[in-house]
Amino acid sequence: MIVTVTLNPALDLTYAVDALVPHGTHRVSTVAERPGGKGLNVARVLHTLGEPVLATGLLGGATGNRVAGLLTAEGVRSSFVRIAGETRRTVAVVDDTDATGFWEPGPAITAGEWSLFLAEFRELLGPATVVTLSGSLPPGVPIDAYAQLIALAEAVAVPTVLDTSGAALRAGLLAGPTVAKPNAEELAAILHTANVRRPGPWGLAETVRALSAGPVVVSRGAAGLVAVAGDDVWECVPPVPVEGNPTGAGDACVAALARGLRDRTPWPDLLSDAVALSAAAVAAPVAGAFDPDVYRQTQATATPVAATPDTTPPVVASADTATPVAASPDTTPPAGGTRVRTHR
């Protein structure tokens, strides 16, 4: 079972308009209401794919009740810790070419509520095959919250996929997730530079290696994905452009990465699947959904950018004898059952 963590969930509202004009008045053609937050989008994509998944996080108030009810109505299993504050709302205004988002900050979380969540998370690690850690942190949650969760998962040999930004991303990378999935802008932000916003694969790889010793998959929007794993670099670009709502594309990518970690999918096939699922999410009208036809038709080819001497999956040690694996002997992402890290 894949467990998705959303510490700052939301009730997502999506407004469709003909064209977004700053300072203008817009007539909304359709309104969609969905359980929101990056981790819940991951859970919904996995559920649609038929994968066993359970969503967890922090929910509170009437808005939190609505989010939980919408998840139940979609058939997504969940186990949330209840909080005193009111769960936030987000609004995405979508036209024919792009989306503009308005995100509320989220409720303040008490130390006691965070302790309750840590206890819940430990329980859920028992049946978990992979854990995804996605999105922003609400006020009151420690900035190293994801690092704490990564350490708990590592202690019981459960792989993790980290997708966050800012100080939470920096702290999380130091904890060594199995795979991290920032986008290029998020990397630029934590380095306080614009030089990595749209780099080539080689420059991006050097940036990644300055921040993390483990595998990192960087999303670049329409330019596709770059995976950096030790000395190996892979690039995968969509074969055709897809227009629509990009809001949930990164979450669909995380869903593909989580499934690939569980199944020990080699990097080329994993990146191809992640690009196709991301493109299919862009073609869907709301985050957390994807277009099945686009998913089937948008298979890309991942190509090595750096030397890749072997394509054999790594030998994985048992949970109690896990040892580091030297950089670049293979092209398969770390798998469930142990914590595998690459070092330069």
Q: Point out the residues that are catalytic.
A: 251
Contact of 166 with 172, CB cutoff 8 Å: no
- How far is residue 191's CA from residue 321's CA, in Å, rounded to a whole number? 35
DSSP state for residue 206 in the 8-state scheme = H
List of residues 6+ apart from 11 with CB closer than 8 A:
33, 34, 35, 36, 63, 66, 67, 70, 87, 88, 89, 90
- Residue 331, both tokens: 């092209």
Q: Which of 241, 299, 303 is nearest to 267 (CA)?
A: 303
CB 38 within 8 A of CB 134: yes
Phi-psi group of 337: left, alpha or beta (phi > 0 → left; psi -120 to 50 → alpha; rest → beta): left
Q: Could you tell me if 74 and 45 are in contact, meaning their C-beta atoms sit under 8 angstroms apart?
A: no
> Nearest-CA neighbor of 227 among 158, 316, 330?
330
Task: Please give the biggest Cα pair distance in the chain.
Answer: 62
Closest CA to 169 of 151, 198, 143, 141: 143
Q: Are 41 and 67 in contact (CB under 8 A)?
A: no
Amino acid at 323: T
Who contacts 263 (Cβ-Cβ below 8 Å, separation ≥6)?
A: none
Place of tokens 């430990």: 122
